[in-house]
């Protein structure tokens, strides 16, 4: 894809964008809406607005592509999630509306083979813009556990860094300059 000319964000509109369109050097729109659960349950998982589409393209260009450039190919676990998919994931009723940044196209959950999720989170924290960066469901005794959630807004990014162990959120990454023997040491 060396000859790929990236289109400006404003050119991404729902009526002309297809799953096979490239949004960065290595990523297509298909990877931004990919969901095994949505496919399995026949749930719709396509953008509802141009803003959602453009937000996902921004996340791809400013977060996902730089990670791929620095490390190696990977496929994001989840980027955009429709409200129907989000309700199914969270076990919520049909009238519930999620406020997740995934439903606005502003977030991605990722893992990169060969890196621990804490290594990936530290690299993102130190090198890429982000609104929220969360090492989710990581276990101290299993460095490959969990995944990294990273979000990016068009403006006013908080630069917040958290660890979520499945019970509570903790500011920062667990291993920031410390060695922990167990969760009780946090």
Please report, in tens digits, the pLDDT of each residue of the chain (186 residues total). 556 788 999 999 999 999 999 999 999 999 999 999 999 999 999 999 999 999 999 999 999 999 999 999 999 999 999 999 999 999 999 999 999 999 999 999 999 999 999 999 999 999 999 999 999 998 877 877 899 999 999 999 999 999 998 888 999 987 654 433 333 443
Q: Cβ distance 59 to 107 under 8 Å?
A: yes
Q: What pLDDT score was predicted for residue 182?
A: 37
Q: What pLDDT score was predicted for residue 185?
A: 41
Q: What pLDDT score was predicted for residue 163?
A: 93
**Parallel/antiparallel/unpaired status of strands 160-164 and 169-171:** antiparallel
Closest CA to 116 of 141, 145, 94, 96: 145
Q: Tokens in use for 123?
A: 């690299």
Coil, helix or strand for 36? helix
Q: What pLDDT score was predicted for residue 2?
A: 54
- The burial of 164, by beta-carbon neighbours within 10 Å (0-12 exposed, 13-18 middle, 19 or more buried), is given as middle
Coil, helix or strand for 123? helix
């Amino acid at each position: 894809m060396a000859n790929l000319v990236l289109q400006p964000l404003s050119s991404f509109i729902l009526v002309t964008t297809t799953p096979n369109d490239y949004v960065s050097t290595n990523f297509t729109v298909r990877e931004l809406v990919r969901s095994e659960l949505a496919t399995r349950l026949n749930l719709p998982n396509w953008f509802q607005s141009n803003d959602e589409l453009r937000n996902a393209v921004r996340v791809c260009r400013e977060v996902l592509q730089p990670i791929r450039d620095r490390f190696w190919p990977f496929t994001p676990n989840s980027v955009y999630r429709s409200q129907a998919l989000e309700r199914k994931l969270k076990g919520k009723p049909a009238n519930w509306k999620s406020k997740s940044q995934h439903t606005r196209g502003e977030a991605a959950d990722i893992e990169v083979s060969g890196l621990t999720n804490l290594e990936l989170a530290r690299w993102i924290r130190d090198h890429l813009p982000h609104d929220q960066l969360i090492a989710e469901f990581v276990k101290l005794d299993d460095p490959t556990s969990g995944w990294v959630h990273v979000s990016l807004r068009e403006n006013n990014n908080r630069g917040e860094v958290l660890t979520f162990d499945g019970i509570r959120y903790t500011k920062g990454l667990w291993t920031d300059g410390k060695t922990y023997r167990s969760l009780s040491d946090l």
